Structure 1
Amino acid sequence: MAQKLKAIGFDADDTLWHNERIFKMTQAHFATLLADYTDHANLMDRLLQAERRNLGHYGFGVKGFTLSMIETAIDVTNGNVAASVIAEILDAGRDMLCHPVDLLPHAKAAVENARETHRIILITKGDLLDQERKLAQSGLGDMFHAVEIVSDKTQEAYAEIFARHGDGAEHGLMIGNSMRSDVLPMIDAGGWGVFVPHGHEWELEKAAPPKSNPKYHVLPNLGGLTRLIHQIEGC
């Protein structure tokens, strides 16, 4: 029987290793630095607005997040933010770029098992150097047949990636923790989208799930991926 799936794509941040909780810790420190100027809820709302505005300029990742924190600090202090606070924000951003990589449960086994039967691709977005660093430190780098670090995850991006590394998106599966980035555009491209919720979800990655689509699946963790692949293949 011919395989339905030729290639399997894995998201990186908060799918294979922890990431969003590092952002949450940095946000908590940021709130402490600006506590004299505004309350926590307003600060987080202003920061989210800045991140949304800046995505088209800075893209995804720590560097854009750091610049958005600086912009928000200037905004909420009416331009009176101390240079020492800016310096602490920059230090926090550098600390994020050096944070150790902590694999999620079942991540290594899921990648190893998928590699035995299919071509596997790491598809991630964000800062190029940071993503390369995390992949190298994860111990998973040599397992992937291909690595794609993109500016954004779109239907067109998935169609192009799975055409180059497989037989097209209709014979591909993408697994990740973001409904907006990992699931919906992959399904729109004709492939399977597998949602693995992480618990810490960035507001800008939230979207309504395509519950009625037969190519949409949800797994509580990566431990169920091998069984799902077998189910799709009809094994």
Structure 2
Amino acid sequence: MGNGIRMVAFDGDDTLWRSQDYFDAAQLEFEQIVGGYVDVTDARVSERLYAFEKANLAWFGYGVKGMALSMIEAAVEITGQRVSATDVSRIVGLAKDLLRHPVELLPGIRDAVAAVAARHDVVLITKGDLFHQEAKVRDSGLADLFRRIEIVSEKDPATYARLLEEFGIAAGQFVMVGNSLRSDIAPVLSLGGWGVHMPYHTTWSHENEASIDAGSERMRSVHSPAGLPEAVAAISALADA
């Protein structure tokens, strides 16, 4: 292992295991519930739900519980307070189903993480509801691969800077692997670190609110876990140089 890259961090949701698919399915069911009261298109249900979710991040944070509370608040407003107790209960049921969904690893991800871990210290940095994320890590069967597991409330430059200080490494010695440009890549690049972007086929709108030069020498993009070891090796070679 060279003297450049000392640590590689992996995101959890939609990088190691499927997540957004379940949220998308829950939103479709939510729209069907609200559709019993209003025209979903005319009422801009999807757009208005996202507005509630975004506004509530400061209060509820990320994850299922914040989404459920935002759904209830949105349903009350969109239906003009006509949403029934039965339908509010159905929305709560959507949240419980999300919390119970199985952890399904992305194909090939364990081998990819293990290959990177053979050359570098690897850690897991994921955000969201503490209990839910702890359960996902436990059920994933991947915990043994990581030197440390960090569950944070936000992924921004301040959070990464704090973690780097705790890890005792410089940003230039750190690589972040994830599906979200906003949460996984942009903050790390802004600190002088490195990123490997592995897009997922569906992404929450909030995570798309970032713009990065695709040609940045500090970032690589891959389309599947199979490409991760090579991408990290290429970054490591640049860092060593």
Instruction: Bin the TM-score by the shorter chain.
Output: over 0.9
1:6 matched residue in structure 2: 6
Contact 2:37/2:83, CA 8 A, preserved across alignment: no
2:211 to 193, 208, 211: 208
Which moved further from structure 2: 1-10 or 93-102?
A: 1-10
1:98 matched residue in structure 2: 100
Q: Tell me whether 1:75 sits opposite 2:69 in the alignment.
A: no
2:231 matched residue in structure 1: 228
Q: Mark the runs of 5 or more structure 2 residues left unpaired by the alignment.
A: none
1:65 matched residue in structure 2: 67
* Superposed CA offset, 1:13-48 (max 9, x none): 000000000001101111111112233341111100
SS in 1 for 2:211: coil
Q: Mark the runs of 5 or more structure 1 residues left unpaired by the alignment.
A: none
2:21 matched residue in structure 1: 21
Deviation at 1:109, TM superposition (A): 0.8
Deviation at 1:210, TM superposition (A): 2.4
How many residues matched?
A: 235
Contact 1:20/1:200, CA 8 A, preserved across alignment: yes
* Superposed CA offset, 1:176-229 (max 9, x none): 000100010010111001111101111111122222421021111121111122
SS in 2 for 1:124: strand
Contact 1:184/1:210, CA 8 A, preserved across alignment: no
* Superposed CA offset, 1:52-80 (max 9, x none): 11011101000000000000110111111
Contact 1:154/1:185, CA 8 A, preserved across alignment: yes
TM-score of the pair, normalised by structure 1: 0.96
Identity rate of aligned residues, in percent?
A: 37
2:190 matched residue in structure 1: 188
TM-score of the pair, normalised by structure 2: 0.94
Report the Cα distance in structure 2 between the residues aligned to 1:183 and 1:96, rounded to whole angstroms: 26
Contact 1:154/1:181, CA 8 A, preserved across alignment: yes
Runs of 4+ with >6 A deviation: none
* Alpha-carbon RMSD: 1.4
Report the Cα distance in structure 2 between the residues aligned to 1:40 and 1:208, rounded to whole angstroms: 30
Report the Cα distance in structure 2 between the residues aligned to 1:33 and 1:173, rounded to whole angstroms: 42
Report the Cα distance in structure 1 between the residues aligned to 2:229 and 2:2, rounded to whole angstroms: 18
2:39 matched residue in structure 1: 39
Report the Cα distance in structure 2 between the residues aligned to 1:132 and 1:175, rounded to whole angstroms: 19
Which moved further from structure 2: 159-168 or 180-189?
A: 159-168
Contact 2:196/2:232, CA 8 A, preserved across alignment: no
Report the Cα distance in structure 2 between the residues aligned to 1:177 and 1:91, rounded to whole angstroms: 28
Which moved further from structure 2: 150-159 or 14-23?
A: 150-159
